[in-house]
């Protein structure tokens, strides 16, 4: 005697469990690593037979930041803690008290950064970060004063006005191997 066989239905009840298991696996292994960092633009390599351009910048308009191989910071010949760098930079750029030793105007201010080959990358990033932070804060303050909005929220034309005022000139000298470690 033959039974009438019907194909048994596939039980889909455990489908959810399987899917959950896979889901949890992917949830755990996924690292949404956003790539973030400090963006800079390198200066182009000088042309070979380009005459050395001899732009004279007044001494007071340059803030010299030196980092040695021991990760010590020298700002205009004065030992400084990294934590004070931002405040000092802002003072230098803005010069609210018209100090004759600080920059004439924010547009003319230049920051010269020089480090040793033995300087640690960590301190270099920290210094760069503080200098950038100083500019960003000043730009933000000006944006709020002039347009009543933070810098980020301005349109491009307004941002350019402020960028022209606080130009952010951070020039990096070629590092030297002075050592000191």
Closest CB to another protein among residues 71, 110: 71
Distances from the Cα of 15 to the Cα of 29, 65, 96, angstroms: 21, 63, 69
61/120 with CB nearer another protein: 120
* 35 versus 54: smaller Cβ distance to another protein: 35
CB 114 within 8 A of CB 65: yes
173 contacts 114 by C-beta, under 8 angstroms? yes
CB 11 to another protein: min, Å: 12
Q: If DSSP codes are grouped into helix, strand and coil, which group holds residue 16?
A: helix
- Kindly state the smallest distance separating residue 22's Cβ from another protein, in Å: 5
* CB of 61 or CB of 159, closer to another protein: 159
Residues binding another protein (CB under 8 A): 12, 15-16, 19-20, 22-23, 26-27, 29-30, 32, 34-45, 82-87, 115-122, 124-126, 128-130, 132-133, 136, 174-175, 177
Compute the least distance from the CB of residue 94 to another protein, in Å: 15
Q: Shortest Cβ distance from residue 131 to another protein (Å)?
A: 9
Q: Least separation, in Å, of the C-beta of 137 and another protein?
A: 10
Rounded Cα distance between 63 and 65, Å, is 6
> Residue 133 or 161: which CB sits closer to another protein?
133
79's enclosing H/E stretch is strand 78-80
Whether residue 106 contacts residue 138, with contact meaning beta carbons closer than 8 Å, is answered with: yes
CB 63, CB 110: distance < 8 Å: yes
Q: Which of 41, 37, 136, 38 is nearest to 86 (CA)?
A: 136
């Amino acid at each position: 005697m033959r039974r009438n066989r019907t194909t048994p239905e596939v039980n889909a009840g455990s489908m959810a469990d399987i899917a959950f298991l896979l889901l949890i696996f992917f949830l755990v292994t996924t690292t949404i690593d956003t790539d973030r960092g400090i963006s800079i633009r390198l200066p182009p390599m000088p042309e070979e037979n380009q005459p050395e351009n001899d732009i004279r910048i007044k001494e007071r308009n340059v803030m010299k930041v030196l980092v040695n191989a021991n990760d010590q910071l020298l700002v205009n010949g004065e030992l400084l803690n990294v934590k004070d760098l931002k405040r000092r930079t802002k003072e230098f750029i803005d010069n609210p008290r018209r100090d004759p030793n600080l920059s004439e105007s924010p547009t003319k201010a230049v920051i010269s950064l020089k480090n040793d080959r033995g300087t640690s990358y960590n301190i270099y990033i920290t210094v760069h970060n503080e200098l950038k932070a100083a500019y960003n804060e000043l730009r933000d303050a000006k944006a709020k004063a002039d347009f009543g909005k933070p810098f980020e929220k301005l349109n491009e034309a307004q941002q350019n006005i402020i960028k022209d005022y606080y130009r952010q000139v951070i020039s990096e000298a070629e590092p030297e191997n002075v050592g000191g470690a």
